[in-house]
Structure 1
Amino acid sequence: MSKRARALAIWRETGRRLGVTEYSGGGFGDYSGPDTEDYMKPKNLYDAAALATGIGFTAVSGASNIIGMAQSGKWDLSKMVPSFDTGNNDIPGLSQAFDQMTQQLEEITETLQKGGMIQVDIDVDSNGVPTVSFTKAGLA
């Protein structure tokens, strides 16, 4: 008896003694051979959304140098090659935009706490896109 055949016989005997059902196609205990299922394939909408989000962050990280140069207005040809960072989930420029928005909200809060007033102008263009501007009004 070959070494492999002896090992399989021991394996089957062990399963039999433990009360595990043996299947006619081979294998036992719900294992019947190599797994051919693609474990990365999304199984539901949540998996698909998570995969799409990861792809989006990777794509944005690849364009981060170009986005940074466009925001600053200073172009550097050595940074034109995309560099993908799959471990980063920061969108370039977004954190700076949040910082600016937070700073403006803090100024508005400070003005209101001092008893000042804020004038809000909302303009809607022909495409239906609103533009909002806040201005200090009165004494503060």
Structure 2
Amino acid sequence: MKYSILVLTLLLTMKGYCQEMEKVPFAVADRPPIFLEIEEDKKTLQRAFSSKLSTFVYKNFNTAIARDLGMTGRVRLSARFVITKDGSIDSVSVKTPHVELEDEMHRVLSLLPSVVGGRHNGKAVEIIYALPLVFQVH
């Protein structure tokens, strides 16, 4: 019983905290950013956004850079950025083993088409998004 009360208290506190936030994590937003104005439920919109974003990045990322750097095997990168209220990309940070791969991720993210910004509790909010990228170099 104490555990249930603790969990309920934490959930209510988190909900109250998120109501006041100007930047909201992707998974928490009531309506995530979208590429096309499609009326669907939250989970469907999240999957559609993530899928389209990943496809775009994999299609446009020049993986030959890693090969040119002498890397082999599995290469992992992680990008974190903010999708602003107007749908543009801002505050990009990339974790990667080489600065050249970081530059390439910045280049690819700068090519993204505009998106419709996310909403939470009926307000336009900035969305924090994390994007892992893993590819094989032969």
Fold shared by both chains (TM-score > 0.5): no
Query: Normalization by structure 2: what TM-score?
Result: 0.23
Greater C-alpha Rg: 1
Larger proportion of strand: 2
Larger proportion of helix: 1
